Amino acid sequence: RLSEPDVPIGTPVVPPQDLPSRPRRNRRSSTVRNAVSETFIHPAHLILPVFVHDGEQNIPIASMPGVSRLGWRHGLIDSVAEARSYGVNQVVIFPKTPDHLKTPTAEEAFNPAGLAQRSIRLLKDTFPDLEVYTDVALDPYNSDGHDGIVRDDGVILNDETVEFLCRQAVSQARAGADVVSPSDMMDGRIGAIRRALDREGFSNVSIMAYTAKYASAFYGPFRDALSSAPAAANGASKRRIPPNKKTYQQDPANYREAVREVKADEAEGADIVMVKPGMPYLDIIRLLRDNTPLPISAYHVSGEYAMLKAAALQGWLNEEEAVMESLLSMRRAGADIILTYFATDAAKWMAGDRSPFIGGTKF
């Protein structure tokens, strides 16, 4: 064999193995790799979450380098226009409520002139074909920092909260929202919101349910961004405020429970079901994929953004490759749609030197 001209000098001579199956044949060129790639991602799959506040300036969020609370009007419009220029035509709005507007029952959540409602209207007026998603939960408006109403003894009230969530969802629909997204994890809220929307004439407004939302440490930077963490116990008050959301968000130890949640949300009329966080819960994305015909979204949350960004800023990870691999992993697990703070960057990278369809070749 050494007489064969292509074999470089010094190549060890070994007898060829008798291997009928050699998986490497399907990896031997980018054309073959593209031809057999099982998963791809496109900007159309992405939703950009945006934080907005009632002020002029964009205010950087310390724990999310590269992400800001956008100034209402110009900051918000510019950021959405940039995302759209790269093919990301879906956003979800998270408003920062000033402390003086927060109350224990979060009425600001359904103020027709509230920041969320104004932001929805502004975006739909400016970009009529933009798909605008909203967050339905009380925490950004609740002085106790919980997604539901806290009774004095610390119980988070379910059915009373659902009533308020219905008002919130209807007020968002009135402002022009395309999709309302309940992130609160109260029982029965999808069906109640569906009925409330239909009754008010919004049968075309969709519901993206946060179906399997876990009580996760990875939401920390988001709560910084909105100052929405559960309120610290106030020594002067007799009221008890639970320090975490474990009585309504799912236990990270649990798997089967997600099937129970998805069955309920499907029966109650959800249009899209979500798993949150993303990367640590790929098994749950797959579980839902195998248990519902509904589209699945995955939320690549603030803490996941912070981890990747921190490593990239240190030069410890290649940001583009690590982010694209993360997004591709969620698609591979079964997600159709991904909410990610990297949406605009990812779409930019996809628009670069390669086709926007990113599969096996990319890495």
182, 207 in Cβ contact below 8 A? yes
Q: How far is the CB of 10 from ligand PBG (least distance, A)?
A: 53
**Structure-block tokens of residue 317:** 């990870």
Least distance between ligand PBG and beta carbon 349 (Å): 21
Q: Please report, for residues 33, 139, 220, 327, the alpha-carbon distance to residue 282 in angstroms, rounded to integers and kept in the order given.
A: 24, 26, 20, 11
Closer CB to ligand PBG, 67 or 287, in the complex: 67
CB 335 within 8 A of CB 298: yes
Q: Using CA of residue 266, residue 268, residue 274, residue 277, what is the dihedral sign? A: negative
Q: Do 47 and 339 contact (CB within 8 A), yes or no?
A: yes
Residues composing the chain: 363
Q: Residues 96, 102, 245, 276: which is the catalytic one?
A: 276
- The span from the CA of 46 to the CA of 139, in Å, is 25
If the CB atoms of residues 40 and 210 are measured against ligand PBG, the closer one turns out to be 210
Q: Output the smallest distance, CB 164 to ligand PBG, in A.
A: 13
The yes-or-no answer on residue 276 being catalytic is yes
Give which of 205, 215, 216, 214 is closest to 181, Cα–Cα: 205
* Cβ distance to ligand PBG smaller for residue 73 or 223: 223
Spatial separation of the C-alpha atoms in residues 275 and 334, rounded to whole Å: 11
CB of 20 to ligand PBG, least distance (A): 48
Give the count of alpha carbons within 13 A of 6, CB side only.
0
Q: How far is the CB of 298 from ligand PBG (least distance, A)?
A: 12
Tokens 């506040």: give the residue.
53
3-class DSSP string for 177-207: CCEEEECCCCCCHHHHHHHHHHHCCCCCCEE
Shortest distance (Å) from residue 333 CB to ligand PBG: 18
Nearer to ligand PBG, 211 or 302 (CB): 302
Residue 23, classed as helix, strand or coil, is helix
**Lookup result for tokens 């946060």:** 210
The closest alpha carbon to 88, from 57, 43, 119, 149, belongs to: 43
Enumerate binding residues for ligand PBG (CB under 6 A).
Answer: 135, 137, 139, 147, 183-184, 219, 222-223, 301-302
Of 40 and 342, which CB lies nearer to ligand PBG in the complex structure? 342
Catalytic residue among 213, 245, 348, 362: 213
What DSSP character marks residue 35?
Answer: H
Instruction: CB nearer to ligand PBG: give 42 or 223.
Output: 223
Could you list the active site residues?
A: 213, 276
